[in-house]
Structure 1
Amino acid sequence: MRKAARRVPPELRQRTARSCDRCKARKHKCLQIPGQARCQHCEHFNYTCKTTKPRKKRLYGSADNVRARIAYLEGIVKQYVNAEGDLSSLEVLQELGASLNITVGNIQDVKLDCPEIDPYEPEQATSTEQNEELVQDQQGQDQYIGPASSYFFQMKLRSLLGRQRQHPRCQMYLFGPNPTEETLKPFASDVLTDFDVRAIAIPSQLGVDAACLPYSVPLLDHFVIEGLIRAYFDYVNVDFPVLHEASFLETFNRWRVSPSSVDRPWVCGLLCVLLLSRRIMPLGTTETQQQKWWTYVESLLPSMIFTNNIHSIQALMLAALHLHNTNHRDACWTLTGVAARIAVAIGLHRDEVVCEGPQLNRELRRSLWWTLYSFEQIQVSSHDRPSAIESTLGSTSPNERVLNINTSNWPADYAPWSTKLVSILGLVCRALPNLTSESGFSSVAELLGELTLWHTSLPQHLTLQEFDMLPDGHKRPVLLLHIQYHYTVSLLTRHSLLRHLASTIQGQTSDMNEKELETIARVCCDSGRKSCELLLHLDMIGKFNAVTWWDIYYVYSSALVMTLSILSDCTRQQSEGYSNHESLSLLHNCALILNRHSGNPMVPDTMRRWIGAIYDIDMLVHERVSPTQQGPFNQQAPFNQQAPFNQQAPFNQQVPYMYGSVARNEVFYPNTEHNALQMNPEMGMVMNGNNVPGMPMPVWGGENEYFSWDSIGCMLLGVEALDSSFGL
């Protein structure tokens, strides 16, 4: 096939006489306007048109000929001087020339003959940065972590604070060992019965067939299983609406009578329900019982991969959430991807698909699709990996009336506004690879406009102005909606804040318009601060879920932004006398509530690693600020002295360190005793050697020990080996 003729012959093609910084960052041709000092793009958007970047040098001729010429010249040099080393480095060639008394007339002219690499182009990454994107899990396998992930954002923050990673090779501690190794024994039964699920697992009988025992296996009472299911729908399904309660309970009653009448994926979903709800309310079940249920789940997972129906997607999503919470985020990512593929295979992503049966089935499909998409996008935003379903996204939100979800757990119109926010989060995740460069500034401005429009268009009952008037069951969904909004804003703008702070600390001027960059940085600081305030308020009203949902991750993400905000405040304080006491107090209070939650034995391993990271960040910030700024923390300023989260309904005087009533249903402190809620004892304040208020170390035990700041990379992605002084 003949190649299409060029519109302009090569000999007549001309380069633009001048290319401004913005057009270089956009990689567009800089069109000059006759008689104007600014180019067409800068004139249209009223930008400052300036040229400070060096002009990119062209490499004319065939690249193959140039490479062959360089290789031939290297061969001549090696033959002439008998050099066996690597001559690809300019420094090595200079040393070799000096040893032979060879003088190059003008080294700058030599550099101009070579193509230059634009340091502002994101695709021209160094080999070290590229290698950091492949990390090692605890099975010794390489896995990809994107440069815009939460971990690399944390590592850049560390570099600003003068704390560098000590070892080049990284290991992802939240990508745990193979979860199949946590099973008790293989399960070969074709049909799982009520007897199998209720059979109490006893450590001394592990690996022994129940039929070989001389006595009958003790069983859990029926109300224990029913209580766990009730706890799931009261606390887990409201955040992660995977199951329809009425349909699930109907199938559950049918399964108890006739186990063979339901398919295996539904039974797997039932087991995952028990695993998740046990962290809310154990009802006397033990860790061994949890391992036994997971053994059943692991044996059923292969059959779900080859079964394309709704039950398979539901079971995979529930199993993925359990793996995410138990330090297996890599396996969670894999199962989420499988669920997404099955969802596309059965048409959940298509609004036009005609679904047989009642309208309820169609709305259940839509609800499940949006839950899956939201769950996948929060993982995409954390890992900075490509989405598996972003190009096949549906557009219609589920009908709340048909699903009957407009009850005491969800406010009216919650679903459409939540799905719209998730859609914007998907757009932000898609733009993440370009947000670290100047070329992504236009995307930041556009997406910020969409987020602002979403936030200002919320109906009155979903805003924070009417928060005090909401029913008790609606408060957590509304707060989470605004927390997710501020998380999305912070995710979109935090690299601009990092860049602005780095240029300020280093005394450099950014190539981007300084006012615009400063505005984005201020937006990021405000969202991080408001997110922390909302999370503190969520804990104050007893709605903070530290055991099954993303609450602690939101605190972790907000704490990173707050740390940058505090460093920015310190810079402003040096020049403007600005005080950052409120930000320091806010960060410390976030660390305090998580330290209190760490006393809950049901907090899973993933959450504990995030808690340790936040605790360490808080201690580092207190060590870094000047002693004159540490005084207010000894007084523990009440929350109403901070900016109120809704500008109308201020916080109470202080966040309580313990919940005052066992009768409150919102408490997430289960006890291993039968049907009881354990109240966490009050955590008192302690002072370290520098008279800085601190907290008792979280009670982790076993391998989950306390991590110091120098090992904070190990919280999410740490080095393989650390100094013994780090406590590992």
Structure 2
Amino acid sequence: MSEYKVTKKKSRLVAPENRQRAAFSCDRCKTKKIKCKRIGDGGDGNGNGNGSRCMSCDKLGLECLTSIPRRRRVYSSYENLGMHYKSLLTLVQGLYPDLDINDIDQVIKLGESMGTKMPKELPENELGTMELESKILKPFSPRLESPKTQNIISNHTTPQSKLGTTPEELSSKQHVQTPSEFPTKDTVVIDSRGDRHYVGSSGTSVLFTVLCDLLLKRSYRTNLSFDYELKLFQNKVDNQSKAQIADLITKESNFPIVKFINREESDKYINFFFKYFHPFFFIFDEENFRLKYEKYWEILGSNNIIGIQDKLSNSFVGCIYLIWLTCSKHINNSTQILDINKIFEVLQIILSDVVLASTINSIQFLYLFARYLHSTKNRDSAWNLIGLAVRQAISLGIHKKIMSKRTEHSTLTSQVFWSLYRTELTLCSIFGRPSNINEDEIDVDYPNLQTSYPNLSEEFKIYYIKVTKLSRFLNKIIKERKNSYQQQQPISLINIERTLLLKNQLIQLYQDLKIISIDQIQTIYEFKLNLVYNYYMVTLTLPFMVYISSTNYQVLNDETLLNLMKTGIYASLEISKLLIKATELKFNKGSVAMDCIYAYPATLVSAFFYIYLSNTSNDMISIKISPDLIIDKKELIKIISNVLIFMESSKLDSTTLRIYEVIKGIKNDLKLVEIQDNLKFDFLDFINGSDQVFDSLLTNDDIYTNGFDMGAGLGL
């Protein structure tokens, strides 16, 4: 075997005049990574010398520039270079959260706007064989911690490091923002059947989990005052014996037209619905409905079924049954008990027909069915049915002016569409989900109530048009919240500016619609309109309240954010006053009980700000809303108490009753936090207790098998 002697090559220096390549390259050759052969003064045509032009640029007749500095060699490992790269991108993203760091053009524009000389890109026609993909920065996203593992409080350290820190020292520390601090994220929850359901990060059910976390971490208790073993959705349909339904089908030749109750009891339900509920379920022409309702009883009482012309559609019959179920919860002097299980099974059979065809009656049925399920904690099913109703409305074209004019009952189709519009957007806001409605495609007019329904009260006509116009603003709020949460930085300058713009637009709409103040309210329509307005204002500002409470952001250092906080707190205060006003005016308990949905976000705002004021490292003990109005922890508890007083005096269904239980529990837990203020609970360690409890709240599927629908019971 031959042996080879390995010798170490000696480094040598070459004089510039003897170099085999140019001392530097022009910009074009450097970008294209080709040999730059210099010609002209000082060059020999072989690439030697420092001539003013290169052969490539000269051949193409281009200006030969040398402005790009030589690259500096960095001697480091691949891992260190990668960490350096990620750290710089994270720093830029943290300083400019609205900047897309994966877009080189945006990064270059940012540098130029700051007066920094940035590298120039060549036009595409001069890129030669260079691939366009090489221009694109490979996507990079900093790792975000999950809500279960990250510390909610930004200044959280070990108990040992906090023992020597005073509240004054903590409050003097400037809060440092990082892109991953905002803990609310999209989530998927599991119901009792194991089905999965998506809840967006802007939905109040997700915000509620943040509140649970804060309550557990800020008290000695390892559980909450209320039953926190919650179920976000309850979509389980009780399957009764099909033998009963089969018996009905064989006995009733006009199934699903079945005599479940007598005529007198049915009339009581129908009259109650149109007096108290229909103004807020405005989807029928009452005169036309009653004509068809008479035919329902004519068919039941006739022996010659074949002789009756124009048999009622199954969807309209389903509407009658749904009115019975809706009103049966609010009428105490009923002489006959409804067989709810049997009627519900008939409704499911009708639903199988309704989904196959689009008619006005089918849309009305889906709307009523969704509203009924909404009150029985089947909230996800309600959202699905409203979405289907919107699809059917769009398929009929009733969202377009040209199609509405071609229909015989243009006013009816218009009122049906706008009622769908309001309900669908409200549910989307509650769940944090996208809407099926494209605002740009809608051009149908508002219904002409003056000529079509002369028997309606003037107060209702004014209310309906105003609340419909106001509801169109909710679409803007949903879109803004989506943009805010996608960027994981709700307090970025551009998000705050957009929110302030929406706030000013909403205030202008308040003035244009001439919404009266609380002390002037006399009718339920004035009450509802004012309540919806303040609900939209709370919805607009709630994400910022979540952020400042969960990160202990120093609010007094940010005037714009302080402005938004004052807006949300004031709107919450107004909602609590409105509810007390409704109690004083003794509005019908059935028609106002559903307004707990609007009251729940107000309690969330109050609870989040209460927690912020209870933190020893915050920068305020109260907030001055106006020269004569100061909100402290005592006033925040009063806001929540007013909501509870309203609910105690209302006739609650299963959903609103659960809202009441949770709000009452939140109030009790906030009082525990208040007791611990003097103990400086921020310095305590809860790793062995509450963290484990809250982790189980998020991760264990079995806790969703009993209890309540968090999404439903929380006005979600």
Would the TM-score normalized by the shorter structure come out above 0.5? yes
Secondary structure at 1:353 match in 2 = helix
Q: 1:457-472, aligned counterparts within 5 Å?
A: 457-459=512-514, 462-464=515-517, 467-468=520-521, 470=522
Q: CA deviation at 1:285?
A: 5.8
From 184, 189, 192, the counterpart of 2:249:
189
Q: CA deviation at 1:269?
A: 0.8
* Alpha carbons 2:401, 2:444 under 8 Å: kept: yes
Structure 1 CA distance, aligned partners of 2:644 and 2:139? 60
* Alpha carbons 2:658, 2:708 under 8 Å: kept: no
Secondary structure at 2:197 match in 1 = strand
Query: Residue by residue, what CA displacement relative to the aligned partner does 1:279-329 show, whole Å, maximum 9, x if unpaired?
Result: 121542666522222222111111111121100000111011111111211
Structure 2 CA distance, aligned partners of 1:264 and 1:404? 26
Query: Residue by residue, what CA displacement relative to the aligned partner does 1:379-433 show, whole Å, maximum 9, x if unpaired?
Result: 1011001111134434522222134277348444323321121111112112222
Aligned to 2:103: none
Structure 2 CA distance, aligned partners of 1:493 and 1:539? 27
* Alpha carbons 2:516, 2:526 under 8 Å: kept: yes
Query: Residue by residue, what CA displacement relative to the aligned partner does 1:552-582 show, whole Å, maximum 9, x if unpaired?
Result: 2222221111212333455699866644323
Structure 2 CA distance, aligned partners of 1:415 and 1:404? 13
> In the alignment, does 2:637 pair up with 1:587?
no
> In the alignment, does 2:484 pair up with 1:424?
no
Aligned to 1:216: none
CA separation of 1:500/1:518 partners in 2, compared to 1, >3 Å: closer, same or farther? farther
* Alpha carbons 1:150, 1:557 under 8 Å: kept: yes
Structure 1 CA distance, aligned partners of 2:284 and 2:191? 32
* Alpha carbons 2:613, 2:621 under 8 Å: kept: no
From 672, 679, 686, the counterpart of 1:623:
672
CA separation of 1:172/1:571 partners in 2, compared to 1, >3 Å: closer, same or farther? closer
Secondary structure at 1:532 match in 2 = helix
CA separation of 1:718/1:448 partners in 2, compared to 1, >3 Å: closer, same or farther? farther
Identity value in percent = 17
Aligned to 2:558: 514
* Alpha carbons 2:277, 2:591 under 8 Å: kept: no
Aligned to 2:509: 454
Structure 2 CA distance, aligned partners of 1:594 and 1:326? 17
> In the alignment, does 2:569 pair up with 1:496?
no
Aligned to 2:386: 336
Q: CA deviation at 1:136?
A: 0.7
Query: Residue by residue, what CA displacement relative to the aligned partner does 1:488-517 show, whole Å, maximum 9, x if unpaired?
Result: 1111111112222334x3xx558x971111
Structure 1 CA distance, aligned partners of 2:605 and 2:466? 25
* Alpha carbons 1:163, 1:710 under 8 Å: kept: no
> In the alignment, does 2:353 pair up with 1:303?
yes
Structure 2 CA distance, aligned partners of 1:714 and 1:412? 50
* Alpha carbons 1:135, 1:143 under 8 Å: kept: yes
* Alpha carbons 2:215, 2:669 under 8 Å: kept: no
CA separation of 1:286/1:484 partners in 2, compared to 1, >3 Å: closer, same or farther? same
Query: Residue by residue, what CA displacement relative to the aligned partner does 1:164-218 show, whole Å, maximum 9, x if unpaired?
Result: 9999xx997352143252577435639776996434xxxxxxxxxxxxxxxxxxx
> In the alignment, does 2:239 pair up with 1:175?
no
Secondary structure at 2:189 match in 1 = strand
Query: Residue by residue, what CA displacement relative to the aligned partner does 1:593-642 show, whole Å, maximum 9, x if unpaired?
Result: 32454xx5xx332222211111111111122224899xxxxxxxxxxxxx
Q: CA deviation at 1:376?
A: 0.7
Secondary structure at 2:279 match in 1 = coil
Gaps of 5+ in 2: 1-29, 34-66, 70-84, 101-105, 118-132, 141-176, 301-309, 623-631, 679-689, 710-716
Letter aligned with residue 329 of structure 1: R
* Alpha carbons 2:193, 2:236 under 8 Å: kept: yes
Secondary structure at 2:403 match in 1 = coil
From 596, 601, 607, the counterpart of 1:552:
596
Q: CA deviation at 1:239?
A: 1.4
* Alpha carbons 1:348, 1:366 under 8 Å: kept: yes
Letter aligned with residue 497 of structure 1: M
Secondary structure at 1:144 match in 2 = strand
Structure 1 CA distance, aligned partners of 2:328 and 2:454? 24
* Alpha carbons 1:171, 1:714 under 8 Å: kept: no
Q: 1:125-204, aligned counterparts within 5 Å?
A: 133-163=187-217, 173-179=231-237, 181=239, 185-186=244-245, 189=249, 197-199=258-260
Aligned to 1:402: 451
Structure 2 CA distance, aligned partners of 1:388 and 1:576? 42
Structure 2 CA distance, aligned partners of 1:178 and 1:518? 44
* Alpha carbons 1:595, 1:615 under 8 Å: kept: no
Q: CA deviation at 1:550?
A: 3.0
Query: Residue by residue, what CA displacement relative to the aligned partner does 1:459-491 show, whole Å, maximum 9, x if unpaired?
Result: 3xx4126735x4xxxx21211111111111111
Aligned to 1:253: 294
Structure 2 CA distance, aligned partners of 1:404 and 1:9? 74
Structure 2 CA distance, aligned partners of 1:395 and 1:406? 24
RMSD of aligned alpha carbons:
4.6
* Alpha carbons 1:377, 1:426 under 8 Å: kept: yes
CA separation of 1:62/1:243 partners in 2, compared to 1, >3 Å: closer, same or farther? closer
CA separation of 1:268/1:627 partners in 2, compared to 1, >3 Å: closer, same or farther? same
Aligned to 1:268: 318
* Alpha carbons 1:19, 1:30 under 8 Å: kept: no
Letter aligned with residue 495 of structure 1: P
Q: CA deviation at 1:119?
A: 5.0
Letter aligned with residue 477 of structure 2: V
Number of residue-to-residue matches in the alignment: 527
Structure 1 CA distance, aligned partners of 2:368 and 2:313? 16
Secondary structure at 2:239 match in 1 = helix
Structure 1 CA distance, aligned partners of 2:691 and 2:368? 33
CA separation of 1:530/1:35 partners in 2, compared to 1, >3 Å: closer, same or farther? closer
CA separation of 1:225/1:714 partners in 2, compared to 1, >3 Å: closer, same or farther? farther
Aligned to 2:26: none
Letter aligned with residue 157 of structure 1: L
CA separation of 1:166/1:572 partners in 2, compared to 1, >3 Å: closer, same or farther? closer
Aligned to 1:390: 438
* Alpha carbons 1:486, 1:527 under 8 Å: kept: yes
Deviates further, 538-547 or 521-530? 538-547
> In the alignment, does 2:596 pair up with 1:542?
no
* Alpha carbons 2:269, 2:324 under 8 Å: kept: yes
CA separation of 1:544/1:433 partners in 2, compared to 1, >3 Å: closer, same or farther? farther
Structure 1 CA distance, aligned partners of 2:412 and 2:434? 26
* Alpha carbons 1:174, 1:328 under 8 Å: kept: no
Aligned to 2:524: 476
Aligned to 1:533: 577
Structure 2 CA distance, aligned partners of 1:446 and 1:289? 52
Deviates further, 152-161 or 341-350? 152-161
Q: CA deviation at 1:371?
A: 0.4
Structure 2 CA distance, aligned partners of 1:397 and 1:566? 42
* Alpha carbons 2:518, 2:578 under 8 Å: kept: no
Structure 2 CA distance, aligned partners of 1:230 and 1:433? 42
Letter aligned with residue 463 of structure 1: I
> In the alignment, does 2:391 pair up with 1:326?
no
* Alpha carbons 2:373, 2:381 under 8 Å: kept: yes
> In the alignment, does 2:275 pair up with 1:234?
yes
| Bigger Cα Rg | 2
* Alpha carbons 2:371, 2:382 under 8 Å: kept: yes
* Alpha carbons 1:136, 1:143 under 8 Å: kept: yes
* Alpha carbons 1:463, 1:478 under 8 Å: kept: yes
Aligned to 2:498: 443
Secondary structure at 2:608 match in 1 = helix
Aligned to 1:91: none
Query: Residue by residue, what CA displacement relative to the aligned partner does 1:258-294 show, whole Å, maximum 9, x if unpaired?
Result: 4662111111111111111111215426665222222
CA separation of 1:446/1:286 partners in 2, compared to 1, >3 Å: closer, same or farther? farther
